[in-house]
Amino acid sequence: MTDDVAHEKAHDSRYEAVRSRDARFDGAFFFAVETTGIYCRPSCPAVTPKRSNVRFFATAAAAQGSGFRACRRCRPDAVPGSADWNVRADVVGRAMRLIGDGVVDREGVAGLAGRLGYSARQVQRQLTAELGAGPVALARAQRAHTARVLLQTTGLPVTEIAFASGFASVRQFNDTIRAVYAATPSELRAAAPARSRAGAGAPSAGLPLRLAHRGPHHAGPVFDLLQQEAVAGVEEVSGPKGRRVYRRTLRLPYGTGIVAVDERPGRPRTGSGGWLDTRLHLTDLRDLTTAVQRLRRLFDLDADPYAVDERLGADPRLAPLVAARPGLRSPGTADPDEFAVRALVGRAEAERLVARYGKTLDAPCGTLTHLFPEPGVLAEAEPHGTLGALTTALADGAARLDPGADRDDAERALLAVPGVDAATAAAVRARALGDPDVAPPGADLPDTWRPWRSYALNHLRAAGEWGNDR
């Protein structure tokens, strides 16, 4: 089969997904209609266009770069991110995770390339070849989405929103909004759904957000784990099961934040997927994109539950567990360095470190009073033993756990720290680095469960068949 024939067959399969409005593919690809100049998610409820008028794109940025505007009905810019970016360990996957974390906005393409260990030209070439858009275009699409959220959920002045979204100038902001949404910022704000306008307010009241996910989402075990692990002063889980709220403090590039995430699922009237209702309090709105991405990793919201459940549900041992908890996620962390320290020392010692070395919030909120201490602070305060060795490695970059870190390199660096065992390194790899296929020492996770062994372990843990002492 020639490449052209394979390419056309792939497009035919995508068109069938569009015809059936299959939400399983939302975020996996986008389609655009040449006769209208609009691009959509596969599950868009609009009338299906003729195949001859349809073009397909790997990213929203690629569709925007070809001159298409976002559909106002299906909001393709708001779909969960492709599950590939969190699964893949290659340079494209690592780059997408870093772009999602806001690295291009803060450090430019040169900073992104430096973190990946490639030249800026190499990164540009690889992203453009596979995704149809380079790092600048991908970051621009992300800024446009952030701007839309702020326009439609807050009463902030447009000028403040422009800079909070990461734009370098108001003119750049206005031009991008017009190009992406075919509307001025004021028109976009006026077009907000009534429920969004009703919840709009000043940033001091917090930003109400819906963190979208694809497919089913079985939240209970994730909240159970977060409740079990919660470190006083930094986190809390309150309320009865099924209606719990997870709250925590966040250290972010420009300031700090406090987040509250509701366990109760939000579900659309039609289609699959849904969202987690969230409220963010940020001291600097430039941190919005980064905070959202860190929460998405914490709750594993970009996962593909259809692919995970299909593979694990075919196993006789796991089939009843998957049937009982469809869409179970593999939780990550909001702060990789923090998780590494906590995985090493445990909850009680982590609370001691917070009380002694954590930075007190300028405006504490109930039981949330501190930020978890940074590795450099801990390395200086308690430089001896395994804790000192680990925090030193994290502080000086010998062990890198940021979203673009190479997972194999990170695990080797952790194991090189005296006193860090394989179980701790595996926990960090699964949670802090988001590896979906980790089998920790002592876990009976056969190769037939690849590439979703991290998810299998969470099913076993939720069913009481695997202990959790971390």
* pLDDT value at residue 200: 54
Cis peptide bond N-terminal to 451, omega within 30: yes
Q: Which CATH number fits domain 205-462: 3.30.70.3270, 3.30.310.20, 3.40.605.10, 3.10.350.10?
A: 3.30.310.20
* pLDDT value at residue 470: 42
Cβ partners under 8 Å of residue 368, min gap 6: 233, 234, 235, 236, 247, 248, 249, 258, 361
Record: fold of 83-195: Arc Repressor Mutant, subunit A (1.10.10)
* Cα–Cα distance for residue pair 281/256, rounded to 1 Å: 8
Is 206 within 8 Å of 365 (Cβ atoms)?
no
* pLDDT value at residue 382: 97
Q: HSE-up of 366 (CA within 13 Å, CB side)?
A: 12
Q: Is residue 266's pLDDT more than 90?
A: no
Per residue in 267-316, pLDDT (tens digit) is: 775 556 789 999 999 999 899 999 999 999 999 999 999 999 999 999 99
* Averaged pLDDT for residues 345-366: 97
| Lowest-confidence pick of 39-48, 260-269, 349-358 | 260-269
Instruction: Specify the DSSP class assigned to residue 368.
Output: E
* pLDDT value at residue 231: 98
369 by DSSP, 3-state: which?
Answer: strand
Is 228 within 8 Å of 468 (Cβ atoms)?
yes
Architecture category of domain 3-77 in CATH: 3-Layer(aba) Sandwich (3.40)
Per residue in 119-134, pLDDT (tens digit) is: 999 999 999 999 999 9
Could you give the residue numbers annotated as active site?
A: 40, 444
The total number of residues shown for the chain amounts to 470
Instruction: Specify the DSSP class assigned to residue 460.
Output: H
Is 329 within 8 Å of 300 (Cβ atoms)?
yes
Quote the distance between the C-alpha of residue 284 and its chain's center: 20
* pLDDT value at residue 263: 96
Q: Is residue 31's pLDDT more than 90?
A: yes
E-only strand ranges, 252-327: 256-266, 274-282
Per residue in 437-447, pLDDT (tens digit) is: 999 998 878 99
* Averaged pLDDT for residues 155-167: 90
Per residue in 52-110, pLDDT (tens digit) is: 999 999 999 999 999 999 998 888 988 887 788 777 889 999 999 999 999 999 999 99
Tokens 């006026």 belong to: 190
Q: Which of 16-25, 148-157, 210-219, 306-315 has the highest mean pLDDT?
A: 306-315
Band (pLDDT 50/70/90 cuts) for residue 2 is low
- The crossing angle, in degrees rounded to 10, of helices 91-100 and 288-298 is 120
Q: Is residue 9's pLDDT more than 90?
A: no
* pLDDT value at residue 196: 54
Q: Closest Cα partner for 249 from 210, 202, 298, 211? A: 298
Q: Is the pTM of this model over 0.75?
A: yes
Domain ranges of the chain: 3-77, 83-195, 205-462
Cβ partners under 8 Å of residue 92, min gap 6: 126, 127, 130, 131
